[in-house]
């Protein structure tokens, strides 16, 4: 499945939640307008069961499901791709295992050089952030809004912004050059279908 060019990118919040709760929440996020979903689970219980259900749910709605960190899990589940950070596997390993059509997203933090290099290696999208303080990843390094502006001029693949993004601060990032907003807490800490719809509305206000 193709990675969308713009929109809300929902990342699962799994800690202390049952698989059923996570599935219900992701369903609500999609109904609210999320265009891509990442299964991120740092303390997995039964990731094959939950991951498999999420693949099924996302595909029912025509939304790609990307697995965080784990190429092998993505292959086993038949997910659409993988998201890789600096401590994870590299793009060549991901392409070898998942095929050349797989979605491969990469974290670039605040580095344009890293983004250019990984775009050349075949990344599907790049992610910058964190832009605001994040209770989901408190130690994530900060990124500058200017990085999005530079990235917009230099890159031709979708640009994802992440980190502490709320409906109230997301438009600033979109106007600076982000194409997608990746969100955990701003969605799943809240009245989620309504929050998803509030993010979704931002994409209609973005400056041309």
Ligand X SMILES: Cc1ncsc1CCOP(=O)(O)O
Ligand Y SMILES: Cc1ncc(COP(=O)(O)OP(=O)(O)O)c(N)n1
* Binding positions for Mg(2+): 69, 88
Site residues (CB under 6 A) for ligand Y, limited to 147-186: 160, 162, 182
Site residues (CB under 6 A) for ligand X, limited to 109-138: 129-130, 134, 136-137
92 versus 141: smaller Cβ distance to ligand X: 141
Q: How far is the CB of 96 from ligand X (least distance, A)?
A: 25
**Own/partner pairs for 140-148, CB < 8 Å, 24+ apart?**
141/109, 141/110, 142/110, 143/109, 143/110, 144/110, 145/172, 145/173, 145/176, 146/176, 147/110, 147/111, 147/112, 148/173, 148/176, 148/177, 148/178
For 180, list phi and psi in degrees, rounded to 5. -130, 150
Tokens of 127: 């992610």
Q: How far is the CB of 61 from ligand X (least distance, A)?
A: 21
In contact, 88 and 80? CB cutoff 8 Å:
no
Binding-site members are: 38-42, 68-69, 88, 107, 134-137, 164
The interface mask with ligand Y, positions 13-52, x = CB under 6 A, is -------------------------x-x------------
Q: How far apart are CA 125 and CA 167, in angstroms?
A: 22
163 binds, among Mg ion, ligand X, ligand Y, none (CB under 5 to 8 A by kind): ligand X
164 binds, among ligand Y, Mg ion, ligand X, none (CB under 5 to 8 A by kind): ligand X
């Amino acid at each position: 499945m193709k990675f969308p060019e713009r929109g809300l990118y929902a990342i699962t919040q799994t800690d202390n939640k049952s698989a059923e709760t996570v599935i219900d929440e992701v369903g609500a996020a999609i109904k609210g307008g999320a265009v891509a979903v990442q299964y991120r689970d740092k303390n997995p219980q039964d990731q094959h069961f939950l991951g498999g259900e999420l693949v099924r749910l996302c595909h029912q709605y025509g939304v790609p499901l990307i697995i965080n960190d784990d190429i092998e899990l993505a292959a086993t589940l038949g997910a659409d791709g993988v998201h890789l950070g600096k401590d994870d596997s590299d793009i060549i390993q991901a392409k070898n295992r998942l095929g050349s059509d797989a979605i491969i997203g990469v974290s670039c933090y605040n580095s344009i050089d890293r983004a250019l290099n990984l775009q050349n290696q075949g990344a599907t999208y790049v992610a910058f952030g964190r832009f605001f303080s994040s209770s989901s990843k408190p130690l994530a390094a900060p990124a500058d809004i200017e990085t999005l502006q530079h990235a917009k001029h230099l890159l031709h693949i979708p640009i994802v912004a992440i980190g502490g993004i709320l409906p109230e601060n997301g438009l600033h990032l979109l106007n600076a050059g982000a194409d997608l907003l990746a969100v955990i807490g701003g969605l799943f800490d809240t009245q989620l279908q309504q929050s998803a719809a509030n993010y979704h509305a931002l994409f209609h206000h973005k400056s041309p």
